[in-house]
Amino acid sequence: MSTDFRIPSSIRTDYLFMIEQAVKAPSGHNTQPWKFRIHSDHIDILPDFSRALPVVDPDHRELFVSLGCAAENLCIAAAHKGWLGKVSTTTDGIIHVGLSRQEGIESPLISQIARRQTNRRCYDGSMIPDHAIALLKNTSAEPGISIHLYQKGTQAFDDIAALVYEGNRRQMGNPAFKAELRQWMRYNRKHQDETADGLSYAVFGAPNLPRFMAEFIIAYSLDAAKQNRTDHRNITSASHFALFTTRDNRLEHWVALGRTLQRFLLAATAADIAHAHANQPNENPELAERLAQTLGLTGEYPTILIRLGYAKASAYSLRRIIEGLIVDED
């Protein structure tokens, strides 16, 4: 681990705590595409393009959403330690989190960072009550970011589901997509523990099998019809879809959306509401445009789609240790 050793040890300890919370943010395929640079008065979050997903995320949009989620966690952790975090984004994608001392700003969401998880299970089918939906709707959104909620049983919910299924047909018909997905699968406990990243067998509720068996089963299951059957069960067990959009489809807004998304996910976690991504329509430009038109979202870019509901806790995805994520100051 490399840091700026001019920083007093007590401050460095606070900064390391902030980074430990930042890396608990979600990321596509659990790639964890971030590095950190510590300075005396700020922390930089840097994109790690070696962990990009060029097939499913060719413009790095979801990568920068993930960095925005990490930045929000970092700011919440900073407040817990008595620091005010101020976020800005450079044109080359570095997120600068300025840090200054300010007491009395702690967020109640700090305790939810470790609890939050992407729960890919089938949910229990119960509906989220109106008061909880109102709480989620009141999530503070960054400028240019909108949150839309669609309840099961509405035409909009069914229209969104149809585009998820169409997204599956297109993605599962693309050999490059399936190859990229397999690259990030972690097939058993040994494989998972070796990398501490990727999509662990455990988060799908799969047994701990020898790797050759697990690879065969996964290869067989990467099929549009099978995926749509699974997603139909998952979607019909949910209560709502939540769609996050930007006004400008550019890097700064992707980061802002990530910050908003993380606030929303932590608030959902505090209310014991489960979530999982269903982002297939947004990963295809044609389907994303159809989604916006179908929902009447003029001048908005659909970016992140999740399902919401109630479910038993799932296994947690692993995270890499932060010592390997901190780079030297220039």
**pLDDT tens digit sequence for 20-57:** 999 999 999 999 999 999 999 999 999 999 999 999 99
Regarding whether 69 and 103 lie in a shared domain, the answer is yes
pLDDT of 6 reads 76
pLDDT of 296 reads 98
The average pLDDT across 158-177 equals 98
Total number of residues shown for the chain? 330
Regarding whether 112 and 89 lie in a shared domain, the answer is yes
Q: Which domain holds residue 74?
A: 9-116+316-324
User: pTM, whole model, 2 decimals?
Assistant: 0.95
Please give the full DSSP string across 83-150, using - where no structure is assigned: EEEEEEE-TTSPEEEEEEE-SS---GGGGGTTT-----S----PPPPHHHHHHHHTPPPPTTEEEEEE
Regarding whether 196 and 110 lie in a shared domain, the answer is no
HSE, CB side, 13 Å, CA atoms: give it for residue 290.
15
Residue 73: pLDDT band with limits 50, 70, 90? very high
Residue 103: pLDDT band with limits 50, 70, 90? confident
Regarding whether 214 and 168 lie in a shared domain, the answer is yes
pLDDT of 253 reads 97
Regarding whether 264 and 193 lie in a shared domain, the answer is yes
Question: Does 252 fall in a domain?
Answer: yes
Question: Does 330 fall in a domain?
Answer: no
pLDDT of 5 reads 54
Structure tokens at 252: 């700064």
β-bridge partners, 95: 45, 89
Out of 5-14, 62-71, 80-89, 132-141, pick the least confident: 5-14
Question: Does 229 fall in a domain?
Answer: yes
Domain count, the chain: 2
Regarding whether 134 and 109 lie in a shared domain, the answer is no
Nearest residue to 282 (alpha-carbon basis) of 299, 304, 259, 264 = 304
Residue 291 pLDDT greater than 80, yes or no: yes
% of the chain exceeding 90 in pLDDT: 93
pLDDT of 330 reads 41
Nearest residue to 83 (alpha-carbon basis) of 142, 34, 43 = 43
pLDDT of 105 reads 83
pLDDT of 7 reads 86
The average pLDDT across 96-112 equals 92
Regarding whether 271 and 153 lie in a shared domain, the answer is yes
CATH number for the domain spanning 135: value is 3.40.109.10
Q: What is the pLDDT of residues 144-154, one digit of tens each?
A: 999 999 999 99
Regarding whether 233 and 170 lie in a shared domain, the answer is yes
Regarding whether 135 and 240 lie in a shared domain, the answer is yes
pLDDT of 1 reads 44
Regarding whether 296 and 179 lie in a shared domain, the answer is yes
Residue 328 pLDDT greater than 90, yes or no: no
Regarding whether 140 and 241 lie in a shared domain, the answer is yes
Q: How many degrees, rounded to 5, is the angle at CA 156 between CA 153 and CA 157?
A: 50
Q: What is the mean pLDDT of the chain?
A: 95
Sign of CA dihedral 298, 287, 34, 113: positive
Question: Does 3 fall in a domain?
Answer: no
Question: Does 121 fall in a domain?
Answer: no
Regarding whether 296 and 193 lie in a shared domain, the answer is yes
The average pLDDT across 269-290 equals 98
Residue 3: pLDDT band with limits 50, 70, 90? very low
